[in-house]
Structure 1
């Protein structure tokens, strides 16, 4: 809702020193969010004055009609002589009052006015159009003002309202009253304690008889209908400048006087109106449901098929309007319409909302009706409209009119006077609730600590005690509610939450950047992963209403999202990228059925909950990484190192380390990894070795499918599986005795995994071994074809003594002996 400040001040006696920005701040704090304050005309400077056209010379020697004019601008030009101006517009004549921008003026958009020679004549200024002045959109010609509007030579900026502050309010669905000047003005008056002049407070005389006949079929869908007529209307009467200006400032395009009047009253009072050409109306006006197969051509020239759920306004010939949304073309006010019938009604908000969405037709009227309008201002709004038609268009207002009223009075809400304070946690002074509730128009009867509050008809959103509390709190000021730290009632993070945070920290510390992908995928992604037809990851849940038809499946692996994020970063010039993601995947249970649709009038029973649980997929939490480019950059410090499959495996080891779990890696073949550069990852749960993921270099076909750089590596691990392997291991004891280091070099067959050798050494060395670390792998002539030499550093330490050389040597020999027994290793000399 756009609210011009000068228009607002007509209904609220605001102090002159209240600025638009101060008002915007107060309204926002009170729950009416002002998105912007538009300072219209702030880039406009004078001199811009009123002028009278004295002479017009037609210049016919040019391709288009050009006029050389002499305009009286009084003493505004400093000389009192007529101003000579070249103009191409044709819609004015000698003697007309116009708006003139003199040299030195600047119009909206940075358009500077000067004196220059054009079409062989000197032109010192410009005769202005409405568009050039920023009044409203009109390219038909310059502005011609009515006689007596202003004196020649006087400043035009203020009388034309060229400078105006306009508040742009984002009205929430529960505050339909704020879609009107009346509603905003009432809140402003309450905030500032200023006098409020209700524009709907008209004195309406009793009808001298029934007006145009009208009826309502269903009081639940429409409960009020008012019909007022105006005869002798001049359809060619222009809309006055002040009205066109206000409509434009409010975001409504001026059309014609009859239409502009209904729009003006709607903006002023919040009640949508419809003006009919009464000569085209055939019989009584009837508010009813649409009939099956009924059609209507609306004002936007679209032929619409009506739904039986639509409310229509009809005459004897059929539907003439979709109630509360848009009128029909047949009864539209035209250039020959002199008999006007103004209709104002009150409709069910949900019915209008459904019709608007059904026909994909949102209008200024539907926006108001679906949020709720005042159910008692229809007569005032219709009366205001016909009186404006009489004042501005020469019409005569008919004293007979029709009112159909099936409305029921609102029931009072009983609430404690202290309820608002209880909700806010603030001890408001006695009488605070009564004061603010009366300020917004409620009727309040006090009975001790209880208040019987009847909400006003313009506030259909107020239905219970908490709504009343909200009104009191927002006017007292949300900013005045103290911030109190809540007392902790939880027990901190769970073990799973701590593990997830630890995993995120360790990966971030080792150079990975976290990404969050949508949990959606497609058959194309699964094909890109080179998954076999019987791969369990191909069994995915299909969404009934996906965000995109290109990704209709719930993911069964986190890798596709990571691959797409990597490709996007590489495509933007990032050559060294390491990403990780933690999230759920969705694995349907074998034989799972569709979940039942539950009733809404009760909670689900045990059997229904069991059916829902059976239909839900397994949702394990996975951690995935993907990396490419250099893991270590080259520089003055030395050679860099390219990221490889080993870094992907190390990411899994880091995750296992922060989880306190031993991870085992073993060569494997598993899509989407390269068959010769893939490792299966295992943990032990209750002594049983269980797979938890894979890591390594991606298959070249996968790299091509996702547009990734060559030699890209990735890892995916089941974090839930890692967590299940955790045990409550005691904290390690720190020994103060010295360490003894022994190196061991073993020659084994090239196919023997290093992890198997390391495990044998660790087991054979016994309890004195503190750690075993691989530091060299050698292949070459010295060890023979198909053989490799692996070297380990063994660290020994005792908790209670300094180890002797004999103890260290015996432990080393035991480690070598077991490694030799299990792997066929030979101690290298």
Structure 2
């Protein structure tokens, strides 16, 4: 939220010597975050001048310039000769003149310089050059705009260009601060200065409470989670406005500093009131409305063309503003094009309403229309300020557009009563541990707008209508601490109770992360939301969110690898060509009958039946995944480059298992997203707990990655459940090992991993380690055969083995391999 200082000063006293930095400091004290300071980029001398005469001079390039004599006042050097390319002024016009030494937006410094054969001693400025608008076709004519000011007067103060705005970050629970009114009240609380409520001023300036005669109704038969979409709707009418009038420079300047551009007088007034009071309003061309207005939900198949010119299909949950022909606006989001105010508008129907935050938020996201109005409605608009906003818009239309207030209008609904909160006396000291006095607590609550009914043992505190977030006594204590000062809360470190620490699962996860990081891999933390393509890539049925944060990623991930590919692509695009990445995180697996449609609002506890339904949430196991791209060994003298491959992915998976005291078996597998023949299933016992392989080339291409991307993904929850870390220890053997090699010939279709397991099973307890060291296919073997060589290590705990004992164990392994796979000893 951007707050122009001059606007804020109308509602709370600002010390003249204080700066934007001081204002930021005061607002930070009461819980706002400092963002930036805007404005102040213009520097004088910029003054009012009068064109005395000019000469038009056609140029060789086809352009015509005017060499004008402009009176800027005796104090500013009298009459100056200025070259101007605009042709829209006449002799006698008052204009804005930037004199040498002035600074315009964009660090554009004005100086006297020779151009088109003349010395131009300054510049006659347009609205765009002053930052007041986009009009660059002609200079500003102050008489035409109705702006007073003597020749030689300071134009910066005259046009409001000497103002500044501070920008603060407003958290979602404090929507009232998206207005000058809300920020002024907070500044008054921080400084102790008196607060002048602009809502009271608006009501007093133009009393329109007796308007009647217009047909208005609210028909909401489809409330969202028990909340009616519209609780209050006010209609006022102003007739005979002149849309050709320009928006006053002071209003344009304030809107600009607040981050909004000037559109037209009618639109600017509604935007101005929204920024001032926090209540969005809308102006309709009254002549284009057919019959009365009804607020209702959309019907199936209904459509609307909104002010941005887009034809939109409406959802049955969309809350609409309608007349006798149909929808004329999406409530709280954007009006319709059919009733838009334009240059021919003379009569304006003003709308000021209170809409349900959830309903507006859903419609805004559904149609991807994030407007200034919807941002305020989503965070909660003060229901008691709608009448003041309607009156303020009417007042400005009368004063600035020459309109006349009509008694024709209507009002439906009212302001809901706020629920009182009981808070025991002294509870603020007990909860916060700070010495806040009762007087400080009372003054703080009153300063935020609450009503305090004091009792001997407890107070009854009624929050103001603009603070729907205050629902319990803890919230009131937080407000007391915020206003009186968080610095009063003592710094006391809690004492950790004995016997606490990481759980077994947490400790094991950290061991896995440390093991992978120490092996050169980089950990990722990727958001669990996925596109439909990512969620279905591994073949699992995904879980779709009802109200996703990102409409392009409405699914929860079913595996870690697909989202990690996006991260790999992003890093490759930044020049990091060799990547070894890992992530430990949850995936989401669909279950039958998952989810519920019966969740209540945040203000009430779900029923027992609803809580039971929540047990059917998606399964959320932990996974560990690795993505390897590029070269694991770079080219160097005497050694060729080596790219990551299947073996590296399997090694990373086995490292995870070894860290947990487990051993994985590897066998050939198939996955629709992995390269056939380069895919391995990872087994713990007889259960498949993961997969490793190289991406299918088409999948790598879809992810905009090079060929040969190696990946692995494991069910970490299953591994943690079976982990033996800390239970088994390995004793260093006091006797030497006996090593032998075993080369066997087997059919080509026999998986090497299955043959290895057969040898291991047959060799018995003396076999300490076995590894495949060669896979030969070629001369000396029969057709359809291959030779596998295994390195075997034998050891007994109580003696040194003889060569005969080791050979006997080896041949026992060969016998089992022969029985299972037809293996024979290679000669």
Give TM class, smaller chain: 0.7 to 0.9
> What residue is the counterpart of 1:50 in the other structure?
48
Residues 284-295 of structure 1 mapped to structure 2, 5 A cutoff: 289=296
803, 819, 823: which one aligns with 2:810: 819
More displaced stretch, 96-105 vs 203-212: 203-212
More displaced stretch, 264-273 vs 787-796: 787-796
> What residue is the counterpart of 1:507 in the other structure?
516
> What residue is the counterpart of 2:608 in the other structure?
603
1:142 to 2:139 alignment: yes
Alpha-carbon deviation of 1:183? Answer: 1.8
250, 253, 258: which one aligns with 1:245: 253
1:498 to 2:507 alignment: yes
Distance in 2 between the 1:317 and 1:396 partners?
28
1:85 aligned counterpart, secondary structure: strand
Q: Which 5+ residue runs of structure 2 have no aligned equivalent?
A: 220-227, 600-605, 747-751, 816-822
Contact 1:228 1:383 in 2 (8 A): no
Distance in 1 between the 2:209 and 2:652 partners?
88
Structure 1 residues 302 and 682: CA distance shift in structure 2, 3 A: closer
Residues 731-750 of structure 1 mapped to structure 2, 5 A cutoff: 732=729, 739-741=734-736, 744-746=739-741, 748-750=743-745
Residues 655-804 of structure 1 mapped to structure 2, 5 A cutoff: 655-663=656-664, 668=668, 683=684, 692=689, 715-723=712-720, 725-727=722-724, 732=729, 739-741=734-736, 744-746=739-741, 748-751=743-746, 763-764=765-766
Distance in 2 between the 1:291 and 1:772 partners?
72
Structure 1 residues 23 and 777: CA distance shift in structure 2, 3 A: same
Distance in 2 between the 1:703 and 1:206 partners?
67
Distance in 2 between the 1:793 and 1:693 partners?
28
2:261 aligned counterpart, secondary structure: coil
Alpha-carbon deviation of 1:189? Answer: 0.9
Distance in 2 between the 1:642 and 1:703 partners?
16
Instruction: Spell out, residue by residue over 1:112-144, the C-alpha distance to the aligned partner (whole angstroms, 9 max, x if none).
Output: 333344444432221001210113333352122
Distance in 1 between the 2:462 and 2:535 partners?
60
Contact 1:745 1:827 in 2 (8 A): no
Instruction: Spell out, residue by residue over 1:777-804, the C-alpha distance to the aligned partner (whole angstroms, 9 max, x if none).
Output: 79999x9998787666767776xxxxxx
> What residue is the counterpart of 1:437 in the other structure?
445
Distance in 1 between the 2:401 and 2:550 partners?
54
Distance in 2 between the 1:178 and 1:114 partners?
43
> What residue is the counterpart of 2:8 in the other structure?
8
Contact 1:762 1:815 in 2 (8 A): no
Distance in 2 between the 1:430 and 1:502 partners?
52
Larger of the two Rg values belongs to structure:
1
Residues 299-314 of structure 1 mapped to structure 2, 5 A cutoff: 310=319, 312=321
> What residue is the counterpart of 1:455 in the other structure?
463
Instruction: Spell out, residue by residue over 1:412-436, the C-alpha distance to the aligned partner (whole angstroms, 9 max, x if none).
Output: 4333343444454434222222101
1:126 to 2:123 alignment: yes
Distance in 2 between the 1:6 and 1:823 partners?
93
2:22 aligned counterpart, secondary structure: helix
Structure 1 residues 431 and 632: CA distance shift in structure 2, 3 A: same
Alpha-carbon deviation of 1:5? Answer: 0.9
Structure 1 residues 311 and 52: CA distance shift in structure 2, 3 A: same
Alpha-carbon deviation of 1:754? Answer: 6.4
Structure 1 residues 378 and 524: CA distance shift in structure 2, 3 A: closer
1:113 to 2:115 alignment: no
Distance in 2 between the 1:553 and 1:205 partners?
53
Structure 1 residues 728 and 468: CA distance shift in structure 2, 3 A: closer
Structure 1 residues 671 and 813: CA distance shift in structure 2, 3 A: farther
Distance in 1 between the 2:360 and 2:634 partners?
64
Instruction: Spell out, residue by residue over 1:694-730, the C-alpha distance to the aligned partner (whole angstroms, 9 max, x if none).
Output: 6678899998998877776655555455445545886
Alpha-carbon deviation of 1:192? Answer: 0.7
1:130 aligned counterpart, secondary structure: coil
Contact 2:265 2:401 in 1 (8 A): yes
Contact 1:668 1:675 in 2 (8 A): no
Distance in 2 between the 1:413 and 1:338 partners?
48
Distance in 1 between the 2:339 and 2:505 partners?
68
Distance in 2 between the 1:640 and 1:281 partners?
74
Distance in 2 between the 1:333 and 1:375 partners?
26
Residues 306-325 of structure 1 mapped to structure 2, 5 A cutoff: 310=319, 312=321
Contact 2:463 2:470 in 1 (8 A): yes
Instruction: Spell out, residue by residue over 1:355-391, the C-alpha distance to the aligned partner (whole angstroms, 9 max, x if none).
Output: 6667766554454455444444455445544554554
Instruction: Spell out, residue by residue over 1:203-252, the C-alpha distance to the aligned partner (whole angstroms, 9 max, x if none).
Output: 74997996553465459745463646577x65554433222222222233
Structure 1 residues 636 and 456: CA distance shift in structure 2, 3 A: same
Distance in 1 between the 2:111 and 2:647 partners?
74
Structure 1 residues 452 and 704: CA distance shift in structure 2, 3 A: closer
2:438 aligned counterpart, secondary structure: coil
Contact 2:693 2:711 in 1 (8 A): yes
Distance in 2 between the 1:322 and 1:197 partners?
33
1:68 aligned counterpart, secondary structure: strand
Contact 1:760 1:815 in 2 (8 A): no
Distance in 2 between the 1:379 and 1:339 partners?
19
Distance in 2 between the 1:402 and 1:3 partners?
33
Instruction: Spell out, residue by residue over 1:588-610, the C-alpha distance to the aligned partner (whole angstroms, 9 max, x if none).
Output: 7xxx7444746445223899678
> What residue is the counterpart of 2:68 in the other structure?
69
Instruction: Spell out, residue by residue over 1:153-181, the C-alpha distance to the aligned partner (whole angstroms, 9 max, x if none).
Output: 34433433323321234444443332322
86, 93, 98: which one aligns with 1:101: 98
Residues 105-254 of structure 1 mapped to structure 2, 5 A cutoff: 105-146=102-143, 149-202=148-201, 204=204, 211=211, 213-214=213-214, 216-218=216-218, 221-223=230-232, 225=234, 227=236, 236-254=244-262
Contact 2:217 2:412 in 1 (8 A): no
Alpha-carbon deviation of 1:68? Answer: 1.9
Instruction: Spell out, residue by residue over 1:731-755, the C-alpha distance to the aligned partner (whole angstroms, 9 max, x if none).
Output: 54867xx955455444543559667
More displaced stretch, 381-390 vs 28-37: 381-390
Alpha-carbon deviation of 1:97? Answer: 1.9
Alpha-carbon deviation of 1:474? Answer: 2.3
Instruction: Spell out, residue by residue over 1:435-454, the C-alpha distance to the aligned partner (whole angstroms, 9 max, x if none).
Output: 01111222222112322223
Alpha-carbon deviation of 1:184? Answer: 1.2
Alpha-carbon deviation of 1:572? Answer: 6.5
Contact 1:762 1:772 in 2 (8 A): no
1:445 aligned counterpart, secondary structure: strand
RMSD: 5.3
Alpha-carbon deviation of 1:267? Answer: 2.8
Contact 1:69 1:86 in 2 (8 A): yes
Structure 1 residues 645 and 453: CA distance shift in structure 2, 3 A: closer
2:445 aligned counterpart, secondary structure: helix
Distance in 2 between the 1:657 and 1:352 partners?
53
Structure 1 residues 6 and 624: CA distance shift in structure 2, 3 A: closer
Structure 1 residues 760 and 656: CA distance shift in structure 2, 3 A: farther
How many equivalent residue pairs?
785
Distance in 1 between the 2:598 and 2:286 partners?
49
More displaced stretch, 285-294 vs 246-255: 285-294
Alpha-carbon deviation of 1:26? Answer: 3.3
Structure 1 residues 467 and 218: CA distance shift in structure 2, 3 A: farther
Instruction: Spell out, residue by residue over 1:23-72, the C-alpha distance to the aligned partner (whole angstroms, 9 max, x if none).
Output: 2243245234443322x132x33332221111122335663443221001
